Amino acid sequence: MNREVKKFSSQEPINMSSSDLGFAKKVGQVAGTDLNSCLTCMSCSGGCPMYPYMDYGPHGIMRLAVLGLKKEALTSTTIWRCVGCHTCAAVCPMAINIAGVMDYLREECLSDKLPVGDVPLMQFHRAFLTSVRFHGRSSKVELMGLHKLFTLGSGPKAWMQDAVLGVKMILKRKLHLLPSRISGSGLSQIRKIVTGPWRSR
Amino acid sequence: MSDYLMEASYFPGCTMKTGVEESNLPMQIVLSKLKVKLEEINDWNCCGSSSGHAMNHEIPVGMGARNFSRITPGKPVVIPCPNCFRNWATAKHHLENEPETKKKYEDSFGRLATDVQLLNIYDLYYQVLKKAKEDSVTFENTKPLNGLKVAVYYGCSAMYPKDLRPTDQPKDSVEQVMKDLGAEVVVWPWPHQCCSAFVSAVYPEIAEEFITKIVGGAAAAGAECLVTTCAMCQMNVEMRIISSNMPNPMPIFHLNQLMAIYLGEKASAHGDWWKFHLVDPVPLLKKVSLWD
- Say which residue, A4 or B78, is predicted with more confidence: B78
Average pLDDT over residues A54-69: 94
| CB contacts, 8 Å: A104 with chain B | 57
Question: Per mean pLDDT, which range of A13-22, A156-165, B81-90 is the poorest?
Answer: A156-165
Decide if B235 touches A, using CB distance below 8 A: yes
CA distance B240 to A162: 10
Residue B107 at interface with chain A, using a CB cutoff of 8 Å:
no
Query: Which residue among B18, B204, B275 places its CB closest to the CB of A176?
Result: B18
CB-based contact (8 Å) between A75 and chain B?
A: no
Show Cβ contacts of residue B14 under 8 Å, excluding neighbours closer than 6 positions. Answer: A137, A138, A139, A140, A180, B46, B49
Please check the confidence at residue A30 and state whether its pLDDT lies above 90.
no
Q: Where are the domains of chain A?
A: 23-111, 119-195
pLDDT at B148: 95
Mean pLDDT for the stretch of residues A147-165: 84
Whether A173 has its CB under 8 Å from any CB of chain B: the answer is yes
Do the chains contact at A136 and B45, CB–CB below 8 Å?
yes
Interatomic CA distance for residues A182 and B46, integer angstroms: 9
> How many beta-carbon pairs under 8 angstroms link A with B?
168
Residue B163 scores a pLDDT above 80? no
Fold classified for B6-120: Glutathione S-transferase Yfyf (Class Pi); Chain A, domain 2 (1.20.1050)
A83 vs B17, B19, B199: nearest CB: B199
At A168 the pLDDT is: 84
- Signed CA dihedral, A50, A168, B216, B189: sign only: positive
Do the chains contact at A1 and B206, CB–CB below 8 Å? yes
Q: Are B79 and B118 in contact (CB under 8 A)?
A: yes
| B62 contact partners, CB below 8 Å, separation of at least 6 | A192, A193, A194, B105
Element (DSSP H or E) covering residue B269: none
Asked if A66 contacts A14 with a C-beta cutoff of 8 angstroms, the reply is: no
- State whether A195 and B17 contact (CB < 8 Å): no
pLDDT in tens, A74-119: 999 999 999 998 899 989 999 999 999 999 999 999 999 999 999 9
CB distance from A53 to chain B under 8 Å?
yes
Q: Distance (Å) from the C-alpha of residue B286 to the closest C-alpha of chain A?
A: 23
Percent of chain B with pLDDT over 90: 74
Cross-chain CB nearest to A83 (options B86, B197, B278): B197
Candidate from A86, A126, A195 with C-beta closest to B160: A86
Q: Which residues contact A129 (CB under 8 A, 6 or more apart)?
A: A194, A198, B51, B52, B55, B59
Say if residue B1's pLDDT is above 50: no
Count of C-beta atoms within a 10 Å radius of residue A15: 9
Indicate whether A9 pLDDT > 80. Answer: no
Residues 6+ apart with CB under 8 A from A39: A93, A94
Q: Are B282 and B258 in contact (CB under 8 A)?
A: no
CB-CB: which of B162, B197, B243 is closest to A165?
B243
Q: Is B203 on the interface with A (CB under 8 A)?
A: yes
The arithmetic mean of pLDDT across residues B226-249, rounded, is 92
A86, A124, A193 ranked by CB distance to B156: nearest: A86
Per DSSP, B42 falls in state: T
Picking from B194, B202, B278, the nearest residue to A85 by CB comes out as B194
Rounded to whole angstroms, the Cα distance separating B149 from B220 reads 12
User: What pLDDT is stored for residue B2 in this prediction?
Assistant: 59
Structure confidence at residue B108 as a pLDDT band (50, 70, 90):
very high
For chain B, the structural domain boundaries read 6-120, 142-287
Indicate the average pLDDT of chain B: 91
pLDDT of A182 higher than 70:
yes
* CB contact at 8 A, B47 and B16: no
* B136/B2: higher pLDDT: B136
Which candidate, B224, B220, B213, B257, places its Cα nearest to that of B150?
A: B224
pLDDT per residue over B10-59, tens digit each?
999 998 888 888 999 999 999 989 888 899 999 999 999 999 999 999 99
pLDDT at B209: 94
Interface of A with B in 137-166 (CB under 8 A): 137-140, 143-144, 147, 161-162, 165
3-state secondary structure of A97: coil
Distance CA A121, CA B242 (A): 23
CATH class, domain B142-287, is: alpha beta
Among B21, B23, B44, B55, most A C-beta atoms within 10 A, so best to mutate, is B55
Residues 6+ apart with CB under 8 A from B99: none
Please report residues of A whose CB lies closer than 8 A to that of B210: 49
Flag whether pLDDT at B142 surpasses 70: yes
Interchain proximity A89–B157, CB inside 8 Å? no
Band of the pLDDT at B248, cuts 50, 70, 90?
confident
At residue B116, the pLDDT reads 93
B64-73, B162-171, B214-223, B262-271: lowest mean pLDDT where? Answer: B162-171
| Residues 148-167 of chain B whose Cβ lies under 8 A from any Cβ of chain A | 156-157, 160-162
pLDDT at B227 over 50: yes
Chain A interface includes B201 (CB < 8 A):
yes
Q: Please give the single-letter amino acid code of residue B268.
A: S
Percentage of chain B lying above the pLDDT 70 cut: 99
